[in-house]
Structure 1
Amino acid sequence: MKRDSIYYQIFKRFPALIFELVDDRPQEPQNYRFESVEVKETSFRIDGVFLPPEGATPRVIFFAEVQFQKDEALYHRFFTESMMYLNRNQSQYDDWYCVVIFPSRSLEPSDTRTHRIFLNSDQVQRIYLDELGNPDTLPIGINLMQLTIASSETMAQQAKQLIERVQLESTGTLPKNEIIDIITTIAVYKFSSLSREEVEAMLGLSLEETRVYREAKALGREEQKAEILKAAVPLLLKTGMSIEQIAQQLNVDVEAVRLAAQQNTDE
């Protein structure tokens, strides 16, 4: 499963979810922005930075890392990236916290001594998703994150139960349709070998109502359009029509016609 992209989607749509996990919640958590930030003049990229809303007092930045593979260099990299960002953006914050999310304690780096000044402080919190408790008794946001670590045997049932909870319970500021979109996206990634009909039957809903299906359908249309252009453009060029005339005739962008013409030339 592409968990990195799943968590990017989760936090991009619902930045406040990260604060369901941490002990020290900031003011206005619902107004935080989630960004993937590149630290200039280095090869480092911080996957999760939660930036406070304008006018917040104090201005607290949260750095997040979701780690689903064993990586002994994780803490070396993560704390270096975070400190570099703080050094380059001193005027943008008053305080900071780091949150590291593991599916289980077994994937944490074995060396917790080298960075003990961070790991033992109240500014760094380590989360183990499998130790948070029974999904049925947890907030829907945490339940959603736990779904990413469900086994193939339990995923379908947990996803169906979560969908039922979303439909029946209040989700606060989280839009219900957005949560269901994330649930179906997780299921589609998890069961990539299944057909749409099989995933629909498993979840008990129609994927046509969800974003993941709409995006896939749109991608299919774009790919189909590209194939049509690839076949039609060379034939129309042979009639003496210009790139611009073909674009106007087919009601597409000039660049799309140029690309189709170039692909034909390359082949």
Structure 2
Amino acid sequence: MKTDTIFYKLFQEFPDIFFELIGKPETNSNLYEFQSQEVKETSFRLDGIFLTLENLSHEPIYFVEVQCYKDELFYDRFLTSILLYFYQYQPLNSQWYAIVIFDTRANDVDFPQRLNSLREPHLRCFYLDELRNASNQSLGLEIVKLIVEGKRKTKKLVEQLINRTREEVNDAAIQRKVLELIEAILVNKFPNLSREEVKEMLALELIRGTRVYQELKEEAREEVKAEIQEEIREKIKAQVKLEVREEVEQEVKAQVKLEVREEVEQEVKAQVKLEVREQVEQEVKAQVKLEVREEVEQEVKAQVKLEVREEVEQEVKAEIKEEMIKKFLQRGMSVQELAELFELDVEIIARLNT
């Protein structure tokens, strides 16, 4: 878990929690600005510093360090960083405190005897695991407890924190920040949890608007959008196909009608290429009712009408051809000549000659 990052966010957004944690809840946090500070020309970086605003040098500076693993040289490094900070930045404040927040007392180490002169007046250590047994704590300290709480009890604690946030924080903006902080602690505390496990533990039905909720909502929205797009695509494709078929039939019918007096084309264009631009609707109606029965009846009616028309045209053509053959026979043309002219068998011409 990236504890340094969590505490930086926690103290930056809610500095009152820091002063409550160190036993000074009466401190006015508006007098301070929390920031992370690098000590130049060294590899040291202080986790955080509560610096007083200008003209408030009578108030103390608080150097904050979060330590979640055992480091025998921790106090040497931390206090050296503070002294180097004084050397480089020359703050006017006469008072200062070195605040160490351990996740558990087991990660604390022996304090170097050579630094004893700094220990009593300046050093303060706090152990998060010892907050678990304390009762009647504020919402802020309960959130801090969540950082070291075991997985088995985390879900119950999260539910309690969410309920308390709803009840105790009236400002909507601050309430949302608190919920997002709870979410950030949980996500960083258990990085291997699946989204479903995070969703269950966060009780997302209660904390709508947080980052994880929005991410899950957006994913679901994209999935539904893809399904709807495919459904609309198939529907529009079917509709366009019907419209194109009707247009093609009308065009072919008109072309044949114009050319039938002179000659009937032996071949009709094999393919009619149409490019149909697909448009995907951005918003889809929740329910679409199609009156299929009427559309099908109209389609069948049109198709039957077309078939009957073609049959009648063929019959009329045959009758006209027979009448022409009979007239030519009456004028004295031979059966053989008429057979070649109309490309028919001699027997068929002969039967018409009887």
Specify the alignment match of 1:178 in structure 2: 177
3-state SS of the aligned residue for 1:58? coil
Q: Does 1:9 align with 2:24?
A: no
3-state SS of the aligned residue for 2:55? coil
Specify the alignment match of 1:125 in structure 2: 124
Tell me the CA shift for residue 22 of structure 1. 1.9
CA RMSD of aligned residues (A): 2.8
Distance 2:103 2:91 in 1: 34
Are the equivalent residues in 2 in contact too, given 1:99–1:124 (CA < 8 A)? yes
Specify the alignment match of 1:28 in structure 2: 28
Q: Structure 1 84/203 Cα, relative in aligned 2: closer, same or farther at 3 Å?
A: same
3-state SS of the aligned residue for 2:121? coil
Q: Structure 1 25/62 Cα, relative in aligned 2: closer, same or farther at 3 Å?
A: farther
Distance 2:27 2:57 in 1: 8
Are the equivalent residues in 2 in contact too, given 1:36–1:49 (CA < 8 A)? yes
Tell me the CA shift for residue 79 of structure 1. 0.2
Q: Which amino acid aligns with 2:146?
A: L
Distance 1:214 1:205 in 2: 10
Distance 2:134 2:214 in 1: 29
Distance 1:186 1:135 in 2: 20
The gaps in structure 2 that reach 5 residues or longer are 219-354
Q: Structure 1 195/136 Cα, relative in aligned 2: closer, same or farther at 3 Å?
A: farther
3-state SS of the aligned residue for 1:110? coil
Distance 2:31 2:175 in 1: 18
Tell me the CA shift for residue 73 of structure 1. 0.9
Specify the alignment match of 1:191 in structure 2: 190
Specify the alignment match of 2:145 in structure 1: 146
Specify the alignment match of 1:137 in structure 2: 136
Q: How does 1:34-183 map to 2 (within 5 A)?
A: 34-56=34-56, 58-119=58-119, 121-132=120-131, 134=133, 137-170=136-169, 175-183=174-182
Are the equivalent residues in 2 in contact too, given 1:19–1:25 (CA < 8 A)? yes
Are the equivalent residues in 2 in contact too, given 1:140–1:171 (CA < 8 A)? no
Q: Which amino acid aligns with 1:151?
A: G
Which string of whole-angstrom CA distances, capped at 9 and with x for unpartnered residues, describes residues 17-45 of structure 1?
A: 21112245685223421111111222221
Are the equivalent residues in 1 in contact too, given 2:61–2:97 (CA < 8 A)? yes
Bigger relative CO (Cα 8 Å, ≥ 6 apart)? 1
Tell me the CA shift for residue 112 of structure 1. 4.9
- Greater CA drift, 68-77 or 203-212: 203-212
Distance 1:186 1:72 in 2: 27
- Please give the TM-score of this superposition, normalised by the length of structure 1: 0.71
Larger Rg: 2
Are the equivalent residues in 2 in contact too, given 1:136–1:143 (CA < 8 A)? no
Tell me the CA shift for residue 57 of structure 1. 5.0
Tell me the CA shift for residue 130 of structure 1. 1.9
Q: Structure 1 203/211 Cα, relative in aligned 2: closer, same or farther at 3 Å?
A: closer
Q: How does 1:172-251 map to 2 (within 5 A)?
A: 175-206=174-205, 209-211=209-211
3-state SS of the aligned residue for 2:155? helix
Distance 1:78 1:26 in 2: 27
Tell me the CA shift for residue 146 of structure 1. 1.2
Distance 1:40 1:60 in 2: 23
Are the equivalent residues in 1 in contact too, given 2:204–2:213 (CA < 8 A)? no
Are the equivalent residues in 2 in contact too, given 1:99–1:125 (CA < 8 A)? yes
3-state SS of the aligned residue for 1:154? helix
3-state SS of the aligned residue for 1:51? strand
Q: Which amino acid aligns with 2:18?
A: I
3-state SS of the aligned residue for 1:122? helix
3-state SS of the aligned residue for 1:137? coil
Tell me the CA shift for residue 52 of structure 1. 1.1
Tell me the CA shift for residue 170 of structure 1. 4.2
Q: Structure 1 159/24 Cα, relative in aligned 2: closer, same or farther at 3 Å?
A: closer
Distance 1:214 1:132 in 2: 32
- Greater CA drift, 197-206 or 18-27: 18-27
Distance 1:171 1:68 in 2: 34
Q: Which amino acid aligns with 1:201?
A: E
Q: Which amino acid aligns with 2:51?
A: L
The gaps in structure 1 that reach 5 residues or longer are 219-267
Are the equivalent residues in 2 in contact too, given 1:140–1:162 (CA < 8 A)? yes
Q: Structure 1 124/23 Cα, relative in aligned 2: closer, same or farther at 3 Å?
A: farther
Distance 2:14 2:125 in 1: 20
Tell me the CA shift for residue 171 of structure 1. 7.7
3-state SS of the aligned residue for 2:113? coil
Distance 1:111 1:23 in 2: 22
